[in-house]
Structure 1
Amino acid sequence: MRRGHIILIFLLGELMSMTWAAVRVDARIRAAETMSMRRSQTEQLRKRDKTPLSRSQLFKLTPGESLEEDTEVDDALGGKVERLHETYKGFKVYDTVVTVRKSKNGELTGDATGHFYQNIDEDVPNTEAKLSPNQALQIALKVENDDEENIGSVKTDKFIYVDKKDGNKAKLVYQLSYLIDGFKRPFYIIDANKGKVIQHWSGFNTYPCCERKYTAIGGNEKIGKITYGNMPYCLAPTIVNGTCYLENEYVRVVDMENTRHNNITETASFLCDEGYGDEVNGAYSPATDAFFYGTVVGKMFEEWFGGTALKEKIILRVHFSEYMENAFWNGVNCTFGDGGSDLYPLTSLDVVGHEIGHGITEQSSNLAYYDEHGGVNEAFSDIMGEAAERYLLESDFLTGGSIMKNSSYLREFETPENDGVSISKVSDMNDSIPVHFSSGVYRRVWYVLVKQEGMPIREAATVFLHANKMYWHSTASFHDCACGLLMAALDLGYSTLPFNVAFSDVGIDHCEVESHILGLNKNRTVSDITVTESVNPVFKFTTPEWADTLIVDATGTYPTWISVFIGGWEASNDACGEEKGEVIAEGIDTVYVPNAEDKQFYMKFSRHGSDMSNTTLIGFNAVDITAGYTCQQNFSEFNWWYLRDCGLKLPDY
C-alpha cells in the first residue's frame, strides 16, 4: 500500500485510458491531491463510453470508499461546483475535501481538485472500536483534569484519521469535544482501539427601515447612544400585544442574566414602550445591540450572498456571567460578556459578525483552531465583522474599536504587528504564535485586497465565503487557503490579480491554478454565463497547429466585451505568475484572431471596454459563448487529424 500525490489527467492523444501519475511519498496510503483533467479529453471519454462520467471512473475508489456530497452551488460559468467528502464504510475520513465541476445538467466535467485516500481497508479492515465513546471521553477528561459533572455539550464522532506522525497510517478514531461554558471547549482526536491521544486543541473561538413601534436605545459611552428606529438603525423585533421579543427570521437573543446556566433558553423580551432596561458597564442595552447587529449579519447574508449565515437561526446569548471580558462561539450559539475594566460589553457589530463567522467556518471548512489554519479561522471571522460593518455603514479595518476602553482597538488590518504581537508575514510564523495573532497574515491580505487594490468588500467577502465552503479544509495552510481563494475567484468570475498582489505582500508562495480555468471545446456553445460589471469570467481554448483564425462569439441580453489573452489571463505589469498575459484582440460580441495556430488562448467576458462608452452597462447579462477556428488551406494532405477536424475528405485505405 502506498500514499502519493495523484494528478488526474488525460494526456493528449491518449483517448482510450485514464493515466495516473503518482509521486511516491512512503509505503502507506495513497492520496489524490490537486487533481485536474483536460475537459476536451474528458468529453472524448464520454463519447467512447456513451455514459456520463461517474465518480468511480474519475477517482478510482477502492473497496469501502465513497465520496459524498456536502454542498453544491452555481458558478458564473454556466455550471455547478460541488464539494465532496470521503467516507469509508459509512464513516467520514478526516480532512478530506474534493471539489468538482459539473455541467448545468449535473454531469461531472472531469475538473477536480482536493485530496482523498485510497486503500484504507489495508489499515482498517473493520470499523468496530475497542473503546466506547465514554471511555474516550474519560481519557480526555483525565488529560484536561476536568470533572465530568462540570461539563456539557459533549460531542463524539467516530471517523477515519490518517496519522502523518505514524507513517500515514489510517486509524479508527473518536473526535470529541465538550464545553465548560465560558471557560473552555477542548477538542481531542483519540485512537478508538488503543486509546492514544493523537491530536488535541482548544476550540474556544473567542473575540473577538421600519415603522417604529417601540422605545429602544443602544451603544455605549465611547460611541454614544444609538436610538433604534431611525435609519439605518431599524430594529425588527416580533411584537405581540405590546411586548417586543428580540427574535425575527434571522436571529434570537437570550438574556443569561449574568449566570452561566445553560437551562436559560427563552427569548429576551421587553415592554415595547419602556425599552429593555439592561444598562451595564457603560453600555445602554447590550441585548438590543446584539439583536440589531445579529439581524444586520442575517440580512447581509440574505442580500449579499443569497443564503443564511448558519444552518439554524442565529442564537446570541448576552449578559453571560459577571463582567466577563470575552465573547465566544461554542458550537451552538454566540455568547457575549458584559466586559470589565478594559472592555465595554462585547455586543459591537464587528464582534457579533466575528462570532457568527466562527459558526460559518465550523459548518463549512471546519478549519482547526491551531497553527496556520487556526490563524485563517480567526482572520475569516474578523473579515466577516468588517463585511458586516460595510453592509451597514463603513468598515473601519479594526476589530473591537468601539468596545475598547483603554486603547483604540483589539486588532487591526493595515499593520497587524502594531499591537506588538500579531504578524503580517508568513516568514514570521511559528508554532508558538496564538491564532489571534497569526491571523494578522490574512488580515493584511484583506487590507491589501480591498483597501489598496480596490476590490469591493462585498465581492471580496463573497470569494472568501465560497472558498471557506468549497475549497478550504481542516488543516489547510496559509498557502492552501490562498489557492482555494484563487479557485473561488475563478468560479465566481472575479479577477485573480488583486488576490495575488495581496498574497505576494505577505509572502505566500504563488499558486498554480491555470488547470482550474474551464476549457472550451471547438464550436460547442456554453450557455448562461454570468457577466456583469464586476463578474468577468475567464475560459481557455487550445488550437491545433492547423488552425488559421480563432473566432470567439458571445450572445447575450446586452453587448458583451471580449478580451483575448495569450500567455495568461490577467493584464498586469507584474512579471510573476502564469496569470500575467497580453491582450492580443478585443471587441464586442465577436472577435477574430489571425495566426491562431498551436496556441493556448484565454478569453475574458465583461461589460466594459473602449468601444462600449455608449452602451448601457446596468443589469445582469446571461451570455452564451462559443469558440472555434478556421483551418489553414492545404495544411497537409497526409494529416488524418487535420482532414477530419476540418471536414475534408479522408483518404481511402
Structure 2
Amino acid sequence: MRKKLALGAVAAASAMVVTGVLSGSATATPNNQSPIGRSQADALSLARSESAGVAKSLGLGAKEQLKVKDAIVDADGSRHLRYERTYAGLPVLGGDLVVHQDKHGATTSVTKATGAKIAVAGTTPAVAASAAKAKASATAKALLKTHKKGDEALKSVGAAAAPRKVVWAASGKPALAWETVVDGVQHDGAPSELHVVTDARTGAVIASFEGIKTGSGNGVRVGKVTITTHKSGTRYQLKDNTRGGLYTTDLGNKESDGKGTLFTDANNIWGNGKTTSRQSAGVDAHFGAEATWDYYKSAFGRKGIKNDNKGSLSRTHYGKGFVNAFWSDACFCMTYGDGEGDKRPLTSLDVAGHEISHGVTSATADLNYFGESGGLNEGTSDIYGTMVEFKKNLTVDKPDYYIGEKINIFGNGKPLRYMDKPSKDGISYDYWFDGVGNDDPHFTSGIANHFFYLLAEGSGKKIINGNTYNSPTYDGSKVTGIGRTKAALIWYKSLTTQFTSTTDYHGARTGTLAVAKKLYGSTSAEYKAVNKAWAGVNVK
C-alpha cells in the first residue's frame, strides 16, 4: 500500500537481458536428461543437479556459482530454472537469472538481471566493515531531513547489523560492496529495515532501499465469514492446518518483532464484528490470509507464498494508533495496526492480498524495491490484491479496480489508488517516461496497474459492479480487454518465469509478450492485446 520509500543517493537503473538459444552442446542439459515430472520438487532437484553445468554453458567464470531459488514446470513440460549467483562465495546482488528449457532439457533462452560480466579486482575491501556500518547509519540518519515527494523519512534510527560483503551488480559495473541493514522506525510508525549498499573500495553509497513493504490507512472488516481453525485440547486456535499451518496472533499493541500470542477461543465463535473484541481484527487477518492462499492455489496451483505448502503468520494489534500494515520477509509475516485511536484495524481484504503478495514476489522474481522494478513490485501487489477481492466477491466489499477503497485514508471515502486511471489520485503515473523510476514505487506502480486494467477490461468508459471507469491510452488507441483471469495468468507467469530482480517496464513488456506468445500464440487476440496495452501506457 502507500509507503513512501526512503531511497539513498543513487536509484539504480533497472535492466533485463534476454539471450537467445545457446550454441553447441550447451543447448542440452549437462546430463542430457529426459523429461521430468511436473512437480516443483522434481524441478528443484533438476535445477540443483544442473547448476554447475548451466554455469559452464553460460560461460560464467571459475569464481561464479549458481544457487537454485525456484523452478517452474509448464503444462507442456518446458522448464524455467531460477538461479541466484555467487562470486568467490559472495552473493551477487542483481546477478540472478532464469534458464528456459524445453521439455527435453534443451536451453531455449536465458533471462538475466544483468548482462555485465561479473568480475571485480579482488574480494579484499579497502573500506573496513566498521566504516561501512558507520556510513550506513549516517545515511539512515540523513533521511530524517528528507522531505522530497515520495520519500518517507525515518522517525528514528536504531542499530545497524554487521555489514555483509557482496558484489553489487544491479546497476553499472559490478563492484565489491558492503550491504548493511539499519533498523529504525518510519514516520508513520512502521518499522524500517533500510538496506544501504556502500562501495567497498571508496566507501560511497551505491544505493539504499527499504526492506519493509508497507501500507497505510484506516482498516475495515470483512464481515461475517467462515474461517478454518484448529482444536488443541479444549480450546480452538486461529490456525489453519489445511493451508500450511498459517496462523494469526495478537501483538498486544506493542511495537514488537516477536510472533505475538496465538488467538484461542473456547467455543470457536470468533469476534463480534467490532473492535470491542480483539478477536475481530484477528478474524479479518486470518480470513485475508486464507483468501490469498486460495486465490493463488486455484488460479495458478501455487501452494503458499513460497510454493512449499507452508503458511505464513499474520500479526494483529501492532503498536498504538498505528495507521499502517506491512509485509516483512524477515519474519515471513503480515502485520496490521489498529488505525486511528486503535479503533480501525487495517484488515481489509485487498490490504491482505496486496501485502502478502509482496511475499510471493520476494519468493520469485524478487523485484528490487527501487527504480522501475520497485513500481513493478508494488503493481504486482495491487494486481493480486485486486484479484483476491474479485475471487471472494464479498457482499460487504464488492470487487473493484480501486486500491484501499475501504480504508478511507483521506477521510472523504476516496480510494488510495485507481487502476483505470492512476493519475486520479493526484500523484500516480498513467504512462511511462524516461526517468519515472526515480520516484516512489507506490506512484510508479500506476503504470503497471494501468497496463493490467487495460489488458483485463480494455480502454474507454464502462461500468463494472456498479462502479464507473474510463480508462484512457497514451496515444488515444482502443484496447479490447481479454478478461481478468487471462491477464492475471500472463502477469503471474511473467513474474515467476520471466522477470528478474532488475526488470524494468520495457523488460516487463518483453516478458509478458513472451508468455502470451507461449500460452496463446503470436497471432492470438491475447498476444495483440498485451502489445496494445503496453503501447497504451507508452511502453513500446
Question: Could you tell me the percent identity over the aligned residues?
Answer: 24
Aligned residues: 452
Which amino acid counterpart does residue 168 of structure 2 have in structure 1?
Y
Which amino acid counterpart does residue 320 of structure 1 have in structure 2?
Y
Are the structure 2 counterparts of residues 489 and 157 from structure 1 closer, same or farther at C-alpha, using a change threshold of 3 Å? farther
* TM superposition shift of 1:43: 8.0
1:323 corresponds to? 321
Structure 1 residue 36 and structure 2 residue 20: aligned? yes
* Equivalent position to 1:143, from 133, 139, 146: 139
Q: Deviations over 1:586-639 (max 9, x none)?
A: xxxxxxxxxxxxxxxxxxxxxxxxxxxxxxxxxxxxxxxxxxxxxxxxxxxxxx
Q: Secondary structure at the match of 1:389?
A: helix
* TM superposition shift of 1:293: 1.1
CA RMSD of aligned residues (A): 3.6
Over 6 Å off, 4+ runs? 43-47, 49-53, 220-223, 281-284
Which amino acid counterpart does residue 33 of structure 1 have in structure 2?
V
Q: Secondary structure at the match of 1:285?
A: helix
Cα distance in structure 1, aligned partners of 2:259 and 2:130: 27
Q: Secondary structure at the match of 2:482?
A: coil
2:477 corresponds to? none
Q: Deviations over 1:437-496 (max 9, x none)?
A: 111111111111111244343333233223223322233221112212222334445732
* Equivalent position to 2:528, from 483, 497, 500: 497
Deviates more, 1:328-337 or 1:242-251: 242-251
Cα distance in structure 2, aligned partners of 1:324 and 1:50: 55
* TM superposition shift of 1:186: 1.2
Flag the structure with larger Rg: 1
Structure 1 residue 379 and structure 2 residue 383: aligned? no
Structure 1 residue 160 and structure 2 residue 146: aligned? no
Structure 1 residue 411 and structure 2 residue 417: aligned? yes
Q: Secondary structure at the match of 1:439?
A: helix
**1:226-305 mapped onto 2 (5 Å cutoff):** 226-228=223-225, 234-249=226-241, 250=243, 251-272=246-267, 275-276=270-271, 279-280=274-275, 285-305=280-300
* TM superposition shift of 1:348: 0.8
Structure 1 residue 506 and structure 2 residue 510: aligned? no
Q: Deviations over 1:541-600 (max 9, x none)?
A: xxxxxxxxxxxxxxxxxxxxxxxxxxxxxxxxxxxxxxxxxxxxxxxxxxxxxxxxxxxx
* TM superposition shift of 1:427: 3.1
Q: Secondary structure at the match of 2:19?
A: coil
Deviates more, 1:169-178 or 1:439-448: 169-178
Q: Secondary structure at the match of 2:209?
A: strand
Q: Secondary structure at the match of 2:260?
A: coil
2:103 corresponds to? 104
1:439 corresponds to? 445
Cα distance in structure 2, aligned partners of 1:56 and 1:264: 40
Which amino acid counterpart does residue 175 of structure 1 have in structure 2?
E
Cα distance in structure 1, aligned partners of 2:481 and 2:234: 47
1:556 corresponds to? none
* TM superposition shift of 1:320: 0.9
Which amino acid counterpart does residue 190 of structure 1 have in structure 2?
T
* TM superposition shift of 1:503: 0.5
Query: Which structure features the higher share of helix residues?
Result: 2
Cα distance in structure 2, aligned partners of 1:117 and 1:246: 47
- Are the aligned partners of 2:317 and 2:337 in contact in 1 as well (CA < 8 Å)? yes
Which amino acid counterpart does residue 484 of structure 2 have in structure 1?
I
Query: Which structure features the higher share of strand residues?
Result: 1
Higher normalized contact order (CA 8 Å, seq sep 6+, divided by chain length): 2
1:186 corresponds to? 194
Q: Secondary structure at the match of 1:180?
A: strand
Are the structure 2 counterparts of residues 44 and 309 from structure 1 closer, same or farther at C-alpha, using a change threshold of 3 Å? closer
Cα distance in structure 1, aligned partners of 2:536 and 2:256: 46
Are the structure 2 counterparts of residues 371 and 113 from structure 1 closer, same or farther at C-alpha, using a change threshold of 3 Å? closer
Q: Deviations over 1:234-286 (max 9, x none)?
A: 21011234523111133211211211122453322233356346833999811
- Are the aligned partners of 1:450 and 1:460 in contact in 2 as well (CA < 8 Å)? yes
Structure 1 residue 201 and structure 2 residue 193: aligned? no
Structure 1 residue 83 and structure 2 residue 63: aligned? no
Are the structure 2 counterparts of residues 56 and 376 from structure 1 closer, same or farther at C-alpha, using a change threshold of 3 Å? closer
Cα distance in structure 2, aligned partners of 1:481 and 1:343: 40
Which amino acid counterpart does residue 256 of structure 1 have in structure 2?
L
Cα distance in structure 1, aligned partners of 2:115 and 2:507: 18
Structure 1, unaligned stretches of length 5 or more? Answer: 1-30, 209-219, 229-233, 510-653
* TM superposition shift of 1:99: 2.3
Which amino acid counterpart does residue 72 of structure 1 have in structure 2?
A
Cα distance in structure 1, aligned partners of 2:433 and 2:418: 19
Cα distance in structure 2, aligned partners of 1:428 and 1:118: 22
Cα distance in structure 2, aligned partners of 1:431 and 1:204: 19
Deviates more, 1:483-492 or 1:345-354: 483-492
Cα distance in structure 2, aligned partners of 1:51 and 1:285: 56
- Are the aligned partners of 1:281 and 1:338 in contact in 2 as well (CA < 8 Å)? no
1:632 corresponds to? none
